Amino acid sequence: MHRLTTPISDEEIRALHVGDTVYLNGIVVTGRDAAHKYMIEHFIRNEPTDPEDVALLEKLRVLLNGGVLYHCGPVVKKNEDGSWTFVAAGPTTSIREEVYEADVIRFFNLKGVIGKGGMGPNTLKACMEQPAVYFHAIGGAATLIAQSVKEVVDVFKLDFGVPEAMWVIRVEDFPVVVTMDSHGQSIHEKIQQESEERFKELLLR
Amino acid sequence: MNGPIQLDLVDEVLELVRRAATVLPEDMVQALERGRAQEEPGSAAEQALATILKNVAMAREKSTPICQDTGTPIFEVHHPFGVSTRMLTEQIHEAVAQATAKAYLRPNAVDSLTGKNSGNNLGLDFPTIHFHEWDEDRIFITLQLKGGGSENVSTQYKLPDARLGAGRDLEGVRRAVLDAVVKAQGKGCAPGVLGVAIGGDRGTGYIVAKRQLLRKIDDVNPDPQLAALEARILEEANELGIGPMGFGGKTTVLGVKVGVAHRLPACYFVTVAYMCWANRRAEMNVSLQDGQVTEVSYA
């Protein structure tokens, strides 16, 4: 069992292997479909000129350097004092971000991505080079995971809507499992291959 | 009877939504517990199911969503003659908006052209409501919450399919459904439930497939051929080794439910509505007498 706090070092990432349980602490930023598309188009492929974009990029560079991005579209509640509370916050399916994630990992020096369902070869390659890992949270365990979210520190791009906004949260002992590591191992790739073999056998029955 | 029946069911439908989002049906909880019991103690599969069960209990206790993706709300409304479906539609919409404001539902309706979230779960053809008039003196509403992850791995096959060696028969259906499970891996939040439709057109295929998900997880199909098919696919899907969350393990699918619709001579569709382990469904019965509500109950 590992307990890690963001920002995470390269040594800490290299020490992780598929199957390891990790409890994450510190700042995590949520980002899913709209956020990935936005980061690619406004920060990574093009230098931002819009002052709002420049300011956001500056903040994200600090938050995500050695940091962790969480594929999550939460249910939130706005409190009377204007602050936010996470009510339900499980992971969303990560594979939709496969076309973007490797570039995002490299651009921001991410050390981890939290999601569910795993990702593909481009992300795995970026994990080996960077290094970084893919943390698998339990899909649907939304109320439970929300208990790990101790504070909503900030929110960016709320105009994307609540699920797609980038929420900056402070987590305590957020439970995840490493399913893609920085040594080229992926549980998802392995299970996919094995299940396809089993399927071929079943078709012969 | 004079004129249409006047009712106000907004509060009752709001409660139906709350139950659907926060309370997993008991038959699903038991199926998850059976899955946990058959996994290797301490394995990733066993721990995933333990976490899921802990989350289910916590969501129920705190009255918060089991999963943050509260999905597409799908209402099936049975009503007697004389109840206005326009009135019920308005009341369901109001209840859905209130449920969103109370954080039982995540705002999930996104304008497909502008990308703007409506913020209240109302939009074009959103939520889904199907009306059925019947002879009984009561209104019966079922609600399913169908999340996006499982919707993305739902799929439709057109038989024959050369790649699968699947012809237009139940063996072809078996091959198509197992292929859908392999393709889904853990992405639809395994262990899932499969609602399957044989036949229909492309549209009715999905409607009939999703309706199968309303069946209790351990019921037996009254058609012996389909019952045998359901049992066989369930057993074989669980031999694939995908397991909870795709971590590997014995529990890949919790139930297989197959329905049938008439098809065109030219078409043979097999539709697989993959549902995540959080197979959220709730029902509400509103008894009526002389146009007045006498009793409301939930299950």
Residue B191 lies in a domain: yes
Q: Are residues B16 and B143 in the same domain?
A: yes
Residue B33 lies in a domain: no
Sign of CA dihedral B182, B184, B190, B196: negative
Residue B258 lies in a domain: yes
Q: Please count the structural domains in chain B.
A: 2
DSSP string computed for A70-103: E----EEEE-TTS-EEEEE-PPPBGGGGHHHHHH
Q: Are residues B17 and B126 in the same domain?
A: yes
pLDDT for the residue B114: 96
- CB pair distance less than 8 Å for A161 and B48: no
Q: Are residues B166 and B138 in the same domain?
A: no
**Which residues in chain B have their CB less than 8 angstroms from residue A19's CB?**
44
Catalytic residues of A: 36
Structural domain boundaries enclosing B193: 149-275
Distance, in angstroms, between B236 CA and closest chain A CA? Answer: 7
- Residue A139's closest chain B neighbor by CA? B189
Q: Are residues B134 and B239 in the same domain?
A: no
What is the DSSP pairing of strand B155-158 with strand B138-146?
unpaired
pLDDT digits (tens, 9 = 90+) for B84-116: 999 999 999 999 999 999 999 999 999 999 999
Distance, in angstroms, between B119 CA and closest chain A CA? Answer: 7
Interface predicted TM-score (ipTM) of this complex, two decimals: 0.94
> Residue B58 is nearest to which of A73, A144, A202, comparing CB atoms?
A144
Q: Are residues B265 and B205 in the same domain?
A: yes
Around B184, how many Cα atoms within 13 Å sit in the side-chain half-sphere? 37
Torsion of CA A182, A187, A192, A198, to 10 degrees: 140
- Averaged pLDDT score across all residues of chain B: 97
**Which residues in chain A have their CB less than 8 angstroms from residue B64's CB?**
75, 87-88, 142-143, 146
Q: Are residues B115 and B205 in the same domain?
A: no
Give the type of residue at A169: I
Residue B5 lies in a domain: no
Distance, in Å, from the CA atom of A196 to the CA atom of A187, rounded to the nearest integer, reads: 14
State the pLDDT confidence band at B123, using cuts at 50, 70 and 90. very high
Q: Are residues B257 and B177 in the same domain?
A: yes
Q: Are residues B132 and B171 in the same domain?
A: no
Domain of B76, CATH number, reads 3.30.360
Residue B50 lies in a domain: no
Cα–Cα distance list, B2 to B83, B87, B248 (Å): 12, 17, 62
* Test the B interface: residue of A191, A198, A200 with most B CBs within 10 Å: A191
Residue B138 lies in a domain: yes
* Domains observed in chain A: 2-203 (3.20.130.10)
* Test the A interface: residue of B68, B174, B179 with most A CBs within 10 Å: B68
The tens-digit pLDDT sequence of chain A (205 residues) is 899 999 999 999 999 999 999 999 999 999 999 999 999 999 999 999 999 999 999 999 999 999 999 999 999 999 999 999 999 999 999 999 999 999 999 999 999 999 999 999 999 999 999 999 999 999 999 999 999 999 999 999 999 999 999 999 999 999 999 999 999 999 999 999 999 999 999 999 8
pLDDT digits (tens, 9 = 90+) for B202-253: 999 999 999 999 999 999 999 999 999 999 999 999 999 999 999 999 999 9
Chain A and chain B share a number of CB contacts under 8 A equal to 169
Q: Are residues B256 and B163 in the same domain?
A: yes
pLDDT for the residue B2: 58
Q: Are residues B85 and B186 in the same domain?
A: no
Sign of CA dihedral B218, B224, B230, B234: positive
Q: Are residues B111 and B178 in the same domain?
A: no
Residue B127 lies in a domain: yes
Phi-psi region of B43 (alpha: psi -120 to 50; beta: other; left: phi over 0): beta
Q: Are residues B155 and B198 in the same domain?
A: yes
Which is higher by pLDDT, B188 or B291?
Answer: B188
Secondary-structure percent of chain B, ordered helix, strand, coil, rounded to 5: 35, 25, 35
**Which residues in chain A have their CB less than 8 angstroms from residue B58's CB?**
143-144, 147
> Residue B106 is nearest to which of A96, A162, A203, comparing CB atoms?
A162
Residue B3 lies in a domain: no
